[in-house]
Amino acid sequence: MDEKKKKIIKQSVMIVVAALFIILGIMSIVQATGSNVGLGYISAIPNIILRYVVVIVTNAIGIMLMSAAAGTFDGKVKTVFAIAVCVYSTIMTIPLFMAFILMYPVGAGATLPEFLDSMVREIVEAFQALVGNNGWQHVIYTLGTIMGAIFLAVPILSTYCTVKDIDLFKVIKEKLTKSDS
């Protein structure tokens, strides 16, 4: 089998597996929020925090694999594919980032507009049941906010480097070896 066919097979497998994880990720979000889409194992998880860990991990695998698949293409296809994955990733990450930010006021006793409050209050109450209503919950909110910021920044930076054809690891390595000299 020649190299071109191997590359096409590799790209196809990566895209199919990534698409399956993305579909599973979307379905797991819907299931975790209380609707039944046939993923009973998520509803069977008694702790909502653990349900959302499954959601985050499933979506992260799909997005990272699709991003890696985008990087295997050349030219405009690579650029458009990378940007599309970045846009999808950003759209999926903004609610996560926003939820962790909104946990601060809800955890302090504030009431938000209904659609936001319903999204956040149950998770805040689960964190409070886990660690108590003390400083530890704010550590968790802070770590979650940092995680959300990283989940937003990394795909954007990665896409920028892909579109501009920059090998970020090579640039960092060169900077580190230059500063050691």
Which of 15, 41, 72 terminates a domain? The answer is 72
Domain boundary among 39, 72, 105: 72
Q: Is residue 160 part of a domain?
A: yes
Judged by DSSP in three states, 20 sits in helix
- Total domains in the chain come to 2
What are the Cα distances from residue 80, in Å, to 12, 14, 20, 73, 96?
17, 17, 21, 10, 25
pLDDT for the residue numbered 136: 84
Are 45 and 51 within 8 A, CB to CB? yes
Q: Radius of gyration of the chain from Cα atoms? A: 20
Q: Which residues of the chain have pLDDT under 70?
A: 179-181
Burial letters 121-143, b for 16+ CB under 10 A, else e: bebbebbeeeeeeeeebeebbee
Contacts of 137 (CB under 8 A, 6+ apart): 103, 107, 124, 127, 128, 131
Report the pLDDT value the prediction gives residue 148, as an integer from 0 to 100. Answer: 92
Q: Are 131 and 140 in contact (CB under 8 A)?
A: yes
* pLDDT value of residue 27: 94
- Report which residue type is found at 50: L
Q: Are residues 41 and 95 in the same domain?
A: no
In a domain, 64, yes or no: yes
Residue 48 token pair = 């909502």
Which DSSP symbol is given to 38? S
CB 164 within 8 A of CB 94: no
How many other C-beta atoms can be found within 10 angstroms of the C-beta atom of residue 24?
18
The answer to whether position 82 is within a domain reads no
Instruction: Please say which residue of 38, 72, 106 terminates a domain.
Output: 72
Rounded to whole angstroms, the Cα distance separating 67 from 151 reads 13
Q: Are 66 and 96 part of one and the same domain? A: no
pLDDT score for 181: 61
* Angle, alpha carbons 135-116-153 (nearest 5°): 70
| Containing structural domain, residue 29 | 1-72
